Amino acid sequence: MNWEHGKLAFTLLLGFGLGAYYTQYVIEKKWQSFEPFHYQKNTIPVNLEEQVDFSKGSEKALRSTVSIKAWKSSKKESTGSGVIVDTNGHIATNYHVIKSAQLIEVELHNQVVLPAELVGFDEFSDLAVLKIHTDIPLSPIVFGNSDQLKIGQWVIAIGCPYHLTSTVTKGIISGIGRDIGILKNQLDNQEFTDLIIESFIQTDAPINPGNSGGPLVNLQGEMIGINTAIASESGYFEGFAFAIPSNLVLKVVKDLIVHRRVIRNYFGIKASNTKNPFFYKKINTNGLEISSVSLNSPAFRAGLMEGDIILSINDKKIQNYPDLKQKIASFSPNQSVTLKIFRNDQVFEIKVELEEVNSYLQR
């Protein structure tokens, strides 16, 4: 009887052991062959940057980039960068680079140094236009469309930091429509701070003192912004830099060249991103809620009202109030724009005819 019990016990133990071993073997095999449904082998490169060519865009834009020296007195020198915008010798840069300058010099990509004259400036956008006179063939920058930018796309910053000409750095677009309040502190007349346009492109491409006024370009070498400022407590690059969108640059530069001043639009509202919970339940997008409408303004005459939520302008989505101001500034006075509006649970369109701001504001 004991022998029979022993055989039974041995058989049971052997069965349990073999069963456990087989179960573990199957589990390990299945786990080794398991692949998450969203993963595919050999489709994602180990180093994405190895697949990106920065050289073509850099080479193209470098020929359009210049170094600028501005003397505000016999001993005080300001340095920055600029970008050639046409074959007639016009150069765009930041106003703060040449502000109050008594003498301005420009160094081309081929190291030729030429005197430059100030054509005009706009302190509300921190832009200025210079002109050089030369028989040397110039390579104007190609303007890109800053309204088509996407967060995360590659960009190249070009300029002359620390007197180092033709310096190239790379990064991505980190944000769009940034208002950092820097231009208000630079404004001579604080009465007109509402005319300031701050809707910067934010990038992590390293930008340092001397880069101001140089181009921010895409991989094709098209200028999508002008490098303007850094967010830093030390005065040196700490991870955040800002550029003026190219569409605004183009409008301001054209006005300064043709009219020697900026023909600025008047719209007549104040607004901020809406916090209306009913709006977000109905519309799955950002919206800009109007907080006030100026009497007899273009917005007032078009029928815009306090509480209206702006969805887009000419089918272009609005990020925030600075973004709206930048887009409005890119149009010409007397031009009609179409706003998509949310009001009383309905979406409809309103046409607004822009007009030039009163001439005394330009003084």
User: What's the pLDDT tens digit per position in 153-169?
Assistant: 999 999 988 778 888 99
What is the Cα–Cα distance from 89 to 138, expressed in whole angstroms? Answer: 7
Mean pLDDT in residue range 117-121: 96
pTM of the model: 0.74
Question: Which member of 67, 212, 246, 312 is catalytic?
Answer: 212
R_g of the chain, CA atoms, integer Å: 29
- Is the predicted pLDDT of residue 361 greater than 60, yes or no? no
User: Judging by beta carbons within 10 Å of its beta carbon (0-12, 13-18, 19+), is residue 219 exposed, middle or buried?
Assistant: middle
- Is the predicted pLDDT of residue 101 greater than 60, yes or no? yes
- Across the chain, mean pLDDT equals 82
What architecture (CATH level 2) is domain 265-362? Roll (2.30)
Mean pLDDT in residue range 143-159: 94
- Tell me the three state secondary structure of residue 201: strand
Active site includes 308?
A: no
Mean pLDDT in residue range 203-217: 89
**Count of CA atoms in the C-beta half-sphere (13 A) of 67:** 19
Question: Which member of 64, 81, 96, 122 is catalytic?
Answer: 96
pLDDT single digits (tens) 296-325: 889 999 999 999 999 999 998 888 888 888
Lowest mean pLDDT among 15-29, 57-71, 163-177, 211-225: 15-29
**More confident of the two residues 193 and 290:** 290
- Extents of the domains making up the chain: 49-262, 265-362
Active site includes 359?
A: no
Question: Which member of 67, 81, 125, 126 is catalytic?
Answer: 126
Please provide the DSSP assignment of 27-88 as one string. Answer: HHHHHHH---TT--TTSS-S-GGGG---HHHHHHHHTTEEEEEEESSSS-EEEEEEEE-STT
Rounded-to-10 torsion of CA 78, 81, 86, 88: 30
> Which residue from 129, 131, 126 is spatially nearest to 180, judged by alpha carbons?
126
- What is the pLDDT, as a whole number, of residue 362? 43
pLDDT single digits (tens) 325-338: 888 888 888 889 99
pLDDT single digits (tens) 30-46: 545 544 444 444 444 55
Active site includes 315?
A: no
**Count of CA atoms in the C-beta half-sphere (13 A) of 93:** 36
What percent of the chain stands above pLDDT 90? 47
CATH code 2.40.10.120 for 49-262: yes
